[in-house]
Structure formats: C-alpha cells, structure tokens
Amino acid sequence: MEEGKVYASDVFAHLEMLEMRDHEAALKEEEELLQEEKLARLKARVKELRLQRDELRAKLDLQEKRQLEKEGPASDPAQFSPRAVLQWKIKSLQAMLQVFYLTGIGAKLTRRGVCFCISTAYEGTYLGSYYLDLLTKSEVKIYRHSVPAFIPLKQIAEQYLQTDIRRFLSVLSDQLNAYAGRRYQADQLQEHFSDQIKGTLQRNSLYNLLVFNYNVSSKSKTFPFNVRLLYGDLCCSLPTEVIVSCRLDAPASLTETAAAHSDLFRRMPLHKAFRSFSSTG
C-alpha cells in the first residue's frame, strides 16, 4: 500500500510539473504574440509617418519650384544682398524642419544657424540621440557634433551638405540608425544567448563586422559553428555577406543546418535568428 501511495504521489507531482510547464509555455507564447502585435503596430505607424514625410517633401519641392517660377529667370542669387540670402536660408530651413520632424530628426534655429537632434531606434526601442550644430551664415558648415568618429560624417558632408542638406541628414540618419540597430542586435545576442556563444563575440567599432562561435548539438555530441557577418551597406542593419562554417569532422547533416542558419542570419535580426533555431532545436 505504501509503495502504491508513493507511486501515486510521484505521478501527481509529475502531472503538476507538466501542467506548470504548459502554463509557462502558454504565457511565453502569449507574451510573444503581444510583442508581435506591438511590433506590427509600430511598423504600421512608421510606414504612416514615412508616407506623411514623403508627402511633405513633395509639397516642399513643389513650393520651391513655384517660388522659382514666380521669381523668373532674372532671379540670380548674386543680385540679392547677404541679408536677403540669409533670410531665404532661414525660411527654407524652417520649412525643412517640418519635414524632418516626422523622421526622428528634431531641430531648432540658433543664432549661428540650426541644431539638429537625430534620434535612433530599432524595432520600437529607443537607442539614443546624436546632435549636429550647423553654421549657415555664409556657406553651410558643421560647427560641432556628437556623431561617433567611425561614422563617415566628413565624406557624407562633402557629398551632400552644400548641395542637398535634406539628403545629407537623411543619409546620416540612416547610417546612425543602422549602426545603432547592429549594436543592439549584438548586445541582445550576448545578453540572451551567452550560454550558446563560445568565447568572445568579436566586432569592430562600427559593428559592420561580427565574428563569433556557437555550439550546435548532433547525435549527443556538440560541434562549434563559426560565423562571420559582414554589413557592406552601412545604411542597413542586416548583413550583406554571411559565412557559417563547421568542423570537417562534423556530420553531413550539419552542413544543411549551417546553410539554414546562414539564411536566417540574412533575413532576420541576429538575436531573433538565434531564438528561431534555438526553439526548433
């Protein structure tokens, strides 16, 4: 009788454990669904804001075109006084600020010109802001800034600052957001999957080259995979080149696994790719 009671107690304990696991799995699934819904809403909002931005840009371009047509061919900038040119620049900047407000770029006029604040985010998570103070009294110049040294600010400025300030800010914002996104993915990987990462995740300052190893199990054995991610497009937070390799003595099936992981790294954020193949074993 005593043995029967002990057996029944073990069975009930096992059932309770299974129920608890099912409950935890259901809660986790519900949380992931809520996160996906939140992300979908944020993406829809971003899309809506970008459409508004494009509409404002189109309106501003049309307004400038009409103004030029109204002034006629005799409107040579050399004919205007420095004060008139300055007033025109301020007016143009004010109109431009309305466009950038919807793209995560804030700005305010200063005595010297204009100061921009470029906010960065990834998947709805705010990741920090960078400041850019421009002089506009004669030609447009960068007075001071907090942009990291490894962002090619000088090259972007040489290409766009004097001819198309909107393009200049757009490219700079894209590169800052992509850099912040790549860094965020690497941080998330180390925070949530440190038990799978073997050794140290190697990266450069720009986070456009990541190299790391992680373990994959096959037939009760563990094999290391080596990963090299190259982000050739500095305006993108997904890699342009992915190399996933395994040891020569690894089972043939792991070659297919490496190819599947490589495809995930190309299409998904780094930590989400890990979560995907970790959940499927």
In order along its 281 residues, the chain shows pLDDT tens digits of 555 555 556 666 767 777 777 777 777 777 777 777 777 676 666 666 666 666 666 666 666 566 555 554 444 545 556 666 556 656 666 566 655 555 667 878 888 888 889 999 888 888 899 999 988 877 888 899 999 999 999 999 999 888 888 889 889 999 999 999 999 999 999 988 888 888 889 999 999 999 999 888 766 777 788 899 999 999 999 999 999 888 777 777 788 888 888 989 998 898 988 888 766 55
3-state secondary structure at position 127: strand
| Rounded Cα gap, residues 209 and 192, in angstroms | 20
Strand partners, 4: none
**Long-range CB contact pairs, 224-233, < 8 A, 24+:** 224/198, 225/254, 225/258, 225/261, 227/261, 227/265, 229/265, 229/270, 231/178, 231/182, 231/207, 232/208, 233/178
CA distances from 201 to 71, 187, 196 (A): 59, 10, 11
Classify burial at 273, counting beta carbons within 10 Å of its beta carbon; exposed 0-12, middle 13-18, buried 19 or more.
buried
The candidate with the shortest Cα–Cα distance to 265, out of 199, 182, 159, is 182
**Tokens describing residue 266:** 């190309």
The candidate with the shortest Cα–Cα distance to 209, out of 190, 228, 237, is 228
Length of the chain: 281
Neighbour tally for 217: CB within 10 Å = 10
Neighbour tally for 175: CB within 10 Å = 22
Tell whether pTM > 0.95.
Answer: no
